[in-house]
Amino acid sequence: MAWTSLFKSKLEPDPRVRWFGKLPTYADYYSSPPDEDWAVEFNEWVLKGFEIYQSRLIQSGGRRQRVPVLQCVIRLPKSKMTALASLQDYGGDMHGRPFPLCFFVGVPTAQWSGPSGDQVAAAVRVIGDLTALHRQVPRMLKGPGRFESIFGDRTVDLGSVVEVAADGSWQEQALSLPLADWFAGAEAVLRVKDPEAWFELAVRWGDRIAGLECDTFEPTLRLPLAGGIAVNVQAAGWLRWLESRMDLRRRALCLVICGETEREPGHLCVIARETVPEDFVLATGLAGTVSYADDLSQVHGADEKGETRRRLSGTWRSFVEEPPASP
C-alpha cells in the first residue's frame, strides 16, 4: 500500500458542511463537490430512499406532498462514517421534480458508539445547527447571492460528539416535565387516546423489548415525540428508557427525528442495525408501510389495570428511568 493511501485510510471527523438535493432555482440535483467517499455514500442513501418513497406513494395512490422536516444520524456501512444531517423539502427543482435538500457533516462511527441518553445531546445540537442553516435558504432563493457564497465555507463544531462526554443536563428539564403534559403534546400521533391506558401499553411494549434483547436483536423502533417540548429532552429520555432494556453501548444506533416538533408532534426512530435505503420511508407519511418497524405510537390492545396506572402523576424523567418488570 502506498504511503498516501495509508494516510487517507485514517478516518477523521469532517466538520465541513456539505449539501445535496434540489432547489427551485436549479434545473437538477445540486451538490457540494463529491470529494469524500462517505459523502457520496450518504447522497446515495438519500437518493435511493427517496426513490423508494416515491414509488410507494404512487402505488398507494397518495397525493404528492413535501417530505416532512427530517433530522438524522445515519451510520454508513461502507465508509464506516456517521452522517449527521438535516433535510428539508423546498418543492424540488425548477421543473417541479420533487426532492429534498440535505445539509450534513460526518464523524467516524468507531468514535461514537451508542449513543446513550447522556451522549445524544451533542448530536442533537449538531443537527440543530444544520437545521438552522435551512432557515437561510428561502432568503438565499430571493436574493442575488450564490449558494456557495453563503454556505460553501460553513463548518460545525463536532468536538462534543467525538469526545463522547456525558451530558446529563436533560435530566433537570425532564424532572420538571409532567407526564400528563408530555402526553398532551404527543396525543395527536398516538392510536390510544386514554393516557393511562397508553402508558400501561407502553410499559408492556418495553418489557417485550427487554425480553428479546440478545446479540442478534436488531430492532427498528419508532417512538412518539411531543410537540412543543425540547427534542433533546425527549431523545435523551427515550434512549435512557431503552438503556435499561437493551445494551446500547455495544451498538452504533441510527437515529431519525421526523417532524417540526417545535410546533407539532413527531417521531424518533431508533435503528439498531446497519441502515438501508428503505429506512428513509420511516421519516415520511408512509412510515406505516415499513413492515419491520415496531411503532410505539400505534400500540393498542386490552387495557389492564394495575400499579402502573399511578405513573400518570409523575414526570417524564420518572417514566423513562423506570426499569422494566423482572423476567
Distance between start and end Cα atoms, the chain:
53
State percent of the chain over pLDDT 70. 92
Bigger pLDDT: 305 or 1? 305
Report whether pLDDT(6) > 50.
Answer: no
Residue from 203, 206, 125, 216 nearest 163 by CA: 125
Q: Is residue 6 part of a domain?
A: no
- Residue-number span of the structural domain to which 155 is assigned: 11-320
Q: Is residue 200 part of a domain?
A: yes
3-state secondary structure of 82: strand
Look at strands 266-271 and 101-108 and give their pairing.
unpaired
SS (H, E, C) 219-252: CEEEEEECCCCCHHHHHHHHHHHHHCCCCHHHCE
Give whole-number Cα distances, 186 to 222, 262, 283, in Å.
13, 12, 17
Q: Which of 3-12, 271-280, 281-290, 299-308 comes out lowest in average pLDDT? A: 3-12
Q: Is residue 326 part of a domain?
A: no
DSSP tag of 30: E
Q: Is residue 4 part of a domain?
A: no
Q: Is residue 3 part of a domain?
A: no
Give strand pairing partners of 104: 18, 85
**Residue 222, all three cell numbers:** 419508532
3-state secondary structure of 308: helix
3-state secondary structure of 137: helix
Structurally, the chain folds into a number of domains equal to 1
DSSP tag of 182: H
**What is residue 162's predicted lDDT score, i.e. its pLDDT?**
82
Q: Is residue 2 part of a domain?
A: no
**What is residue 4's predicted lDDT score, i.e. its pLDDT?**
39
**What is residue 311's predicted lDDT score, i.e. its pLDDT?**
61
* pTM of the full structure: 0.91
Please compute Rg for the chain using Cα positions: 20
